[in-house]
Each structure stands twice: as C-alpha cells, then as structure tokens.
Structure 1
C-alpha cells in the first residue's frame, strides 16, 4: 500500500506473497468505492484464512475487505489503541477510522467485536446501539490465560478473526503513524498465546507499519523496530502450531522488493 515493508528485509524470509497496491488512487485513510473494488480484485486469489500484513494503520479498513468474504458466524478480536468506530461526516464511506462500525452495520456474520487497548475516552464514544455487540478486555483478562478463559466463556461462542494494529504497543515495541498505547510486546504475545490455545482462529492481520518517516534514518529505525515486532508475533503464532505452511493463503499488501 505504501512500500513500508521495503524497510523490513527480514520479512522476506517469512514466505509471504506480495501484492502491489501502490498505484491505486483513493486508498489512504479513506477508501473510495473504486479503490475498494480494485483492492478486492487484487486480493481475490488470497483467502481470509491466513496471516495478512496490511501496511500502516492508514489502511486498517483492509480487515473489513478480508472478513467480507467469510460465510459463517465469527467474532472480531481487535487489538488496537483506537476503536475504529468513528462516525464520519458523510454516510457510506469507508475509512481507517470507521471500518469496525461499518462491519457491525453491514456484515451479517459478525456477531461481536472484542477490543483490546483503547483509552477510556475512546470507549465512551461508542453509540449505545452497538454496546451489546462490543466488549472490552480488562487488564486482568489480558494478562493471564485464566482471565481470557473467563472472558471467553461469557462473550465468545464463534470462531475469531484477529486484527492487530501495532499502535496498541508502547514506543519500545513499535513506531507507528498514530498515537500509541502502553502495552508491551510480551503482553501482546501472552494474549495471543491465550487466544490461540482457547479459540478457533480463522485468520489474522497485522498493520501499524511506519510510513510517515521524515528522513531515511527515521524510516530505517522505525522499520527495524517494527520488523522485529512482526517477526516476534509470527514466531508466537508458529509456537501455537498455527504455521504459515498449513494456512490456505497469506499475503503482504505492499510493493515488491
């Protein structure tokens, strides 16, 4: 989408296919209908079941395009510093800030959204009509497998799709284009461990790359840190037996190296 992965050479060893979308107009922050059609066409050979790296948080709406192709009930586990449920000034548009709301309104298979990481102020902005379908994970549930089990028993009945925006992490774990949270990488890995051990996971995507660097050194430092975090997340997934090789498809939305 932006070419951010050009600064993450270690990702080349992760056996991902590259899908170049840099030439598509109308895709940054707000995704036009024409851009949605073109991106969806380029994604068509890749199933939602798999691991997808979706560039910076400016393109987090790609989660909607992946999950639009699911045909059975599921819940979304969103690990993000923001709820991405903003009400935009104009109806009918898809943005990186409203895609969760759009999914809740339009996807008949989406049963619940479980969100990890937003501020209390972010939580308070959610419209009442969505609150029965949106749940937040407490720090207690986040940090232990038993806490996740208690939470899951109450709130989850369907398989889950996981979407991670690295802006949920502190500055020692990632550098992103947006304001960031305070979760450390070890806590994120611990949460993923709990989810994979206790849920049926359909697929997963990761965004939050650094695409707004002001100079080459800044870009290289951000790319190196984010690359390390991406690799550690992928290694955590592999430890749970969810290897890349047995997934149906996997894809990285960026430009070919």
Structure 2
C-alpha cells in the first residue's frame, strides 16, 4: 500500500498513521487562497523536490489550497497523453473555474486542468454555489465548457440560463443528491479511462462536517459510493476541506477573504470540528487505499 502524503501548510490535518508529512508551513502565507503564477511555479519546483514519485492520497489542509491539485495532476503528464488520457473527477461545492486576474487561486484552477492535453474531461460534482448562477455567469471561464471538456453537476441553483447560450450539456442540474450521483455513476459505468479524484469536503452537508467555506448537500456515502464504483480506475487522489484559522499578512488577501465571507471559527469549535475532520479523513483514506 502506498502511503498517504500530508502537505502540511496550515497544521490542520494532524497525524495520520503511516502517512508521510512534508512541512510547508513556511509557504502558507504565500500560497494560501491564491498567488501569482511566478510564485506558484516556484512552489511547484519545491514540491517536486519533496514529493515521492510513488505515493497515495495527498491531504493538503484547508480548501484554500485546492489549487495545489493542479500541480499533482500535472505530475501525471509523464504517464498519460492525449492518446492515453485521464478524466478528473472533483467533489466541490464550487466550480473552481472562475476568472482571477492576479495569478491562480483556489477558485480558478479547474480551467488549467481542463486545458491539459492528457485530460479528456473534468467533472465537478455537488455544486450548490451561486458561482454558476446567472448573476455570476460572466465570472466563469468559458473555454472548457464550450469545448465539452468540463461539466458542472449541480443542485439547488438555477442553471436554466445555460441552455440559452448552448451550454446545457455542461450544466447538469438535479433535484436530489442521490439523483446526481446515480446519474454520474451511470454515465461512468462503461468508461475505462483512468481517473484522478479530488475531494473538497465543502461539497458535504454541514450536518456531516464543517469546513472553511459555504457547503453543499452531499452525504459521506455519496463520496464512498463513487469511490467504490470507480476505484479500479483511480490513479491518484487528494483531499482538502480541513478547518484552520488564518490571518493573511497581505491586505489584498484579507480583502479577498472577506469578500468570500468565510465563516468565523471559535477556538473551541475548531478543536471539535478538526476531530470530526480527522475521522472522516480516515474513512476516506480507507476507501481509497489500494
């Protein structure tokens, strides 16, 4: 069994038996939430120095680090190509495909993944965020959606407008979470393409877990059922969505963080909710173990 990797930016994951921890706390302020492409590429070089060639699921801490998934997926370029492609399946309450003019951040990385020549398609499952609603349509990056390389799987948000501009195929809407997962797994049933799986736990209901972000409606069994169904095809995976308290040193990041209205977390809740997170991580790692 390949060991899990903890990229320790924010000390939120804690200790996991048999996992290898890589200390990146000195990068927290530079990378968290977002950074310039120059800084992102600098970190890419550092990550490549420390990340083992063969490893298990990567845990990255807060969802503020979800853009690091791009670097993990890019590492697969040596093994896959346009002739031998992979799909990327993402659980997230947000599309993570928004415009960001200042580099790359946790809400803008998906378009870069979709543009990789060895990625045939990206699926984002569990979106309830109004980021894909009419009022925010102009903020989305359109290329991957129009070129049929990206699909949003959503509920509780009105996406009827997408059909009017020829994007009905990319904006899938469902009445229930069970319907969403059942439809996705039905479509995947006959696919043999390898899958990279990225899990942001903000796709889960607050009845299950608490994260730094507004959350979706999925239950743990939706993720576990998906893992079970596609497990023979999974060639890599990561987990984000931990809880941590962060005060950016940059006024710009403080501003952006305030605009996203991340909830304030009390110290007592932080301890209790991180313990819940830890148990969920163990459940997910057990399901993903090979």
TM range (shorter): 0.7 to 0.9
Classify 1:222/1:36 alpha carbon distance in 2 versus 1 (closer, same or farther; 3 Å): farther
- CA distance in 1 between counterparts of 2:54 and 2:199 reads 15
- CA distance in 2 between counterparts of 1:55 and 1:120 reads 21
| Residue aligning to 2:63 | 57
Count of residue pairs the alignment pairs up: 226
Q: In the alignment, is the contact (CA less than 8 A) between 2:88 and 2:121 conserved in 1?
A: yes
Deviations, residues 166-224 of structure 1 (Å, cap 9, x unaligned): 0001112221111001111122212221221xx51111000000012644312111111
Q: In the alignment, is the contact (CA less than 8 A) between 2:98 and 2:141 conserved in 1?
A: no
Q: In the alignment, is the contact (CA less than 8 A) between 1:54 and 1:60 conserved in 2?
A: yes
| Residue aligning to 1:38 | 43
> TM-score, normalised on structure 1?
0.79
Classify 1:143/1:95 alpha carbon distance in 2 versus 1 (closer, same or farther; 3 Å): closer
- CA distance in 2 between counterparts of 1:68 and 1:230 reads 24
- CA distance in 2 between counterparts of 1:41 and 1:114 reads 29
Q: In the alignment, is the contact (CA less than 8 A) between 1:165 and 1:207 conserved in 2?
A: yes
TM-fit CA distance, 1:80: 0.4
User: Of 19, 23, 27, which aligns to 2:26?
Assistant: 23
Corresponding residue SS for 1:69: helix
Q: In the alignment, is the contact (CA less than 8 A) between 2:94 and 2:129 conserved in 1?
A: no
The answer on 1:192 being equivalent to 2:230 is: no
User: Of 167, 186, 192, which aligns to 1:150?
Assistant: 186
Instruction: Please show how residues 80-119 of structure 1 align to structure 2 within 5 Å.
Output: 80-90=92-102, 93-105=103-115, 107-119=116-128
Instruction: Please show how residues 101-250 of structure 1 align to structure 2 within 5 Å.
Output: 101-105=111-115, 107-119=116-128, 121-124=130-133, 125=137, 126-131=140-145, 132-137=148-153, 139-140=177-178, 142-144=180-182, 147-153=183-189, 156=191, 158-196=193-231, 199-212=232-245, 214-238=265-289, 242=290
Unaligned residue ranges in structure 2 (runs of 5+): 1-8, 154-173, 246-263
> TM-score, normalised on structure 2?
0.70
Larger RCO, structure (CA 8 Å, separation 6 or more)? 1
TM-fit CA distance, 1:121: 3.4
- CA distance in 1 between counterparts of 2:46 and 2:219 reads 36
- CA distance in 1 between counterparts of 2:272 and 2:10 reads 17
Classify 1:225/1:117 alpha carbon distance in 2 versus 1 (closer, same or farther; 3 Å): same
| Residue aligning to 1:70 | 76
| Residue aligning to 1:251 | none
